[in-house]
Structures are given as C-alpha cells and as structure tokens.
Amino acid sequence: MLKNFINRMKNLVEQNKDSKESVEKETISEIKDNKKNENINQIIEDNNLKEIHHNVDENKEVMHKNDNESINEELTEEDKKYIKEIKIKRGKSIKAIDVYTKEPQIFKTHKECSKKLKIPENYIQENLKYGYTDYLGEAIKYLSKELNIAYEDVNYLESSKAPSQILNSLNNKIFTTKISEDKRNEILGNEKIEPVKMHYTFECIDEEYDDYFKKYKSIIKRGGKKKVELVDKKGEVIEIFKSLDECATFLNKEKSEIVDMLKYKDTKIGRNQIRYSLRNI
C-alpha cells in the first residue's frame, strides 16, 4: 500500500513537471511571438514614416518647382533679361560649376566665390553675361594701359560692346597705334595679351531678388510717379513719400541714388529701410 502511494506521488510530480515545462514553453513561445510581432509592427511603422517623409519631400520639391514655373510663366523674355542683369550687378548668391567634374558649389556672394575659387570677380560677371569660359578682362586692361587707350578698362563690362569685341579691337590697335617697334614687340611677347584659361561656369541664384521683382514688378516697369515708404526694422511705416524726389529730399540724397537703391534692392537707411509703396497714389 505504501508502495502504491509512493508511485502515485511520483506520477503526480512527473505530471506537474511536464505541465510546468509545457507552460514555460508556451510562455516563452508567446514572448517570442509577441516580440516578433512588435518587431514587425516597428518595421511597418518605420517604413510608413519613411514613406511619409519621402512623400513630404517630394511634395516640397513639386511645390518649389511649381512656384518657379509659375514665376517663370509670368515673366517675359524682357523681364528675364532685366532680372539677370540686376542679379549680376547685385553679386549675391551664385552656383559655380566645374566644367570638368560637373561638381556644383554654392556661394552667398560673388565676392565669396571669387575668394574661395581664387578667380577674378569680373570673370564671374563675364561668364554670367556672355558665357565665356576664358577670362578676357586681364588682357583688356593690360592692352588699354600699354597702348594708352582711354577704353573703359575699369568698367569694360558696362560697355555697349562685348569683351570679345573690345579685345579684338585692342589687338588690331597693337599694329595701328604709333608706338616703337620695341614697345610693339614687348606687348606681342607678353602672355597677358591672351585670355586666361578658366574652367568654371556660373548660375545666378539670388531668390531674394526673384521675390522682390515679383512683388513690385508693376511699379518697377512703369514710369511716372512712384510712392516710397520709409519703414523700421519691424516693417512699420515711419514716413510715406509721394515721389522719388520727395524721398531723396527727406533723406538728403540724390534722386539717382534712391533710384538705384530701389532698383537693386539695396534699401537700408541706417536702422531703417525704404521700399516701393503699394498704396494708391
């Protein structure tokens, strides 16, 4: 009888042990399954977030592209030419592209670009205005000086003639100007008479002026009286002038200076600034 009792107890212990192991296995399996599901859910969530961010970025690019297309659609060829000339003279943000590597670099100003790439600012302007990849300015200045010709050697880019036309004219004058043969040979033997080889092209960015032109296009393009406002740094109006003359008198400046300030969006007056007024005259 005692033996039977002991056997029953052994069986109960074995059953409890098996039951415990089964529960533990089920628990471990459930934990693994839960963890697996959590990982799967996390992956799905991460993928959804990536897709959302991707779609947002795509939408931003599309919106920016559409904005640019919208602006371009509103601009005439005359407008585009005018804006390009203004941007060149403003010398603001610009993209430089190496013609060999095609690598682009962005600079805040022409001056910064000139300094970092170790190239003349006039070369940047030549390329933007005429598309030259060689720099003609140094040859123009050298020949103007050596031939004693009062060319626009300092502001040759303001000439009605392209730099290539100016340089061709100066090269011809080497042989027609009354100078000694020694001087002529000295000039002809100097490497400065040749254009300087460069390897960059440039694109104006200056989105600030795009916004400015878009806002004040109707005023910029029309003649007649133009209202001007003097505003503080918060944009609050201090004074309203009925004309450019009135503004110039008040600020003790020449009218031409006020015209250029508004034309090139160089409008700071101390802590304040001037702007075209959109109010009816």
| pLDDT at residue 128 in the model | 97
Note whether 263 and 250 are within 8 A (CB): no
**pLDDT level of residue 166 (50, 70, 90 thresholds):** very high
Q: For 110-151, what is each residue's pLDDT tens digit?
A: 999 999 999 999 999 999 999 999 999 999 999 999 998 865
Rounded CA-CA distance 225/263 in Å is: 15
For residue 89, give Cα distances in angstroms to 110, 129, 157, 188. Answer: 10, 10, 10, 33
**pLDDT level of residue 77 (50, 70, 90 thresholds):** very high
Tell whether the model's pLDDT for residue 21 goes beyond 70: no
Rounded CA-CA distance 94/104 in Å is: 10
Rounded CA-CA distance 124/172 in Å is: 26
CB-facing half-sphere around the CA of 15: CA atoms within 13 A: 6
> What are the sequence ranges of the domains in the chain?
1-74, 90-204, 223-276
Tell whether the model's pLDDT for residue 82 goes beyond 70: yes
Tell whether the model's pLDDT for residue 201 goes beyond 90: yes
CATH number given to 223-276: 1.10.10
